[in-house]
Chain A
Amino acid sequence: MGGAEEFLAAAVRTGTPLALAALGETVVERAGVINIGLEGIVLAGAFGGLLAAGSGLVAGFAGAVVAGVVVAALFALFTVSMRADQIITGVAVNLLVVGLTGALYRGIYGATGAALTIPTTGTLPIPLLSRIPLVGPALFDQAPPTYVAYCVAPLLAWWLYRTRSGLALRAVGERPDAARAAGVAPASVRWIAILLGGVLGGVGGGMLVLSQAGTFAEGMSAGRGFIAIAIVALGRWHPLGVLAAALLFGAASALQFLFQAMGWALPYQLFLALPYVLTLLALAGLAGRRAVAPAALGQP
């Protein structure tokens, strides 16, 4: 692989866990809920993946999903059933997961746990497609969950914009009272949306362990959940836009590899900060034109 191919592959690899988490959050936010606890969901997914990986990779991803859903359910219990503030609950959920995973990790694997490695999924090249020059290996020679992200984005777009239940979900995010008058139960819809966000966020977190790192580290989500929330805004709350935004963000993160390959001697912290700066600039540039956020976002 040449430098450009490697760059594109790194962009997709970095972007996919973000894409999965952000796609879940898109549904959540379309239902009028902002789940800051996504960071905790991703971290829980990573830890759940590690715990279950002993029984195989499929079990690992199942563990990741269960962990993500449990955390999401806690968030939904407080924000939907008890109508507590979403931001505050999300912050508390993040604290809880950081503490729980850290303590359990040390408790189960010892104080260091450094030597712990598990087998990873490796890549699954798609026949023919992976042979397309330049973009083939980047897009179609990736870990299996990557293809899940490719499929989930158009499926979600179809669901949200072409089905009655998708319309109901978006109605809950725009005008919960109008939706209720039309026979939709906003609380049930939000519960389902948040749990779905837990599934996808959990898979995204599981990917970090099961497809990429092959090990777990305390706090290894490293802000990916927060970034995913920014990506939802960047993708303007549309699944396809969100997928594109996630890959764009992955590309911005992968720039460091490209510049390293080109022998630029810039401090690497500048490249690490670059995606966050770009996100801020993109949000500022995009938001000026048209209001696209769900109108009832953040209201209990």
Chain B
Amino acid sequence: MSELTPEQVKHHIKTYVLVFVSLAFLTIVTVGISYLEVSVGMGITLALIVASIKGSLVACYFMHLIDEKVTIYWTLIATVVAFLILIFVPLSAILDHTKI
């Protein structure tokens, strides 16, 4: 992001404002979902989908991941793989219990 022209920066600023409005709206949606009369599983799924959309907006636009260098993408791909393993370890324990 170091070689941006002032015009490009001004265009980015408009995007930041749009992303901010979207994040504020999605926060209200997240809270609204928690009051819905749905099953726990459905509630968790919906809340995590909204949180993932919010997280993606922050990462893509505020952290400029949408137009970053390949080096960073590779670093993050490795991180995501390790993160998923970490998250699925407890789930494998549940499967273990189910077998018993």
Do A and B pair up? The answer is no
- Chain B interface (Cβ < 8 Å from any Cβ of A): none
